[in-house]
Amino acid sequence: MSLQSASQSSSSSVLQIASTEDESELGASASQSASQLSSEPLPAVSPLGGTNLKVFLSTFLTIFLAELGDKTQLTTLLLAAKSHAPWIVFAGAGTALVITSLLGVWLGCWLARRISAKTLETAAGVLLLLISAQLFWEVFHL
């Protein structure tokens, strides 16, 4: 092995060790940052980048799965079959869903400024339990 290749080999080993130490420091600071972020609102990052992409995908999957087979989808199916104008039905249904989603986002932002996230989660859970209990009561007491 020549002196030049030995020098390059040792310098690459030093760089590799230095980068490993930097990565472990970054990992420690990242886990610290993650624990701090869990109690704070998510920061905005560039559109559809980083955090925003995660929020977008989470929202999309939640709404997409919740809407499959629900009464809105069944109504849209029936309207498209009856009218024989699927693109018009699609445009009408899409516009309605966008507007109702916009109202939900506005209401959520308004509530978030006035009520803590924990209180909102608890209230939503209690409300869903009450609705479930009412439906259960109606089904078994007819």
Taking only the tens place, the pLDDT of each residue in 32-49 is 444 444 445 555 555 556
Query: Which helix (H) or strand (E) segment is 39 a member of?
Result: none
More confident residue, 109 or 43: 109
| Dist. CA 137–CA 129, nearest whole Å | 12
Q: Give yes or no for a contact between 61 and 70, defined as CB atoms under 8 angstroms apart.
A: no
| Dist. CA 69–CA 75, nearest whole Å | 10
Q: Which two tokens stand for residue 80?
A: 């498209």
54-107 residue pLDDT tens = 999 999 999 889 888 888 899 999 999 999 999 999 999 999 999 999 999 999
What number of CA atoms fall less than 13 Å from residue 65's CA on the CB side?
5
90-104 residue pLDDT tens = 999 999 999 999 999
Q: Give yes or no for a contact between 127 and 135, defined as CB atoms under 8 angstroms apart.
A: no
Q: Give yes or no for a contact between 72 and 93, defined as CB atoms under 8 angstroms apart.
A: yes
Report long-range pairs for 68-77 (Cβ below 8 Å, ≥24 apart): 72/97
Q: Is the pLDDT of residue 24 over 60?
A: no
pTM of the model: 0.53
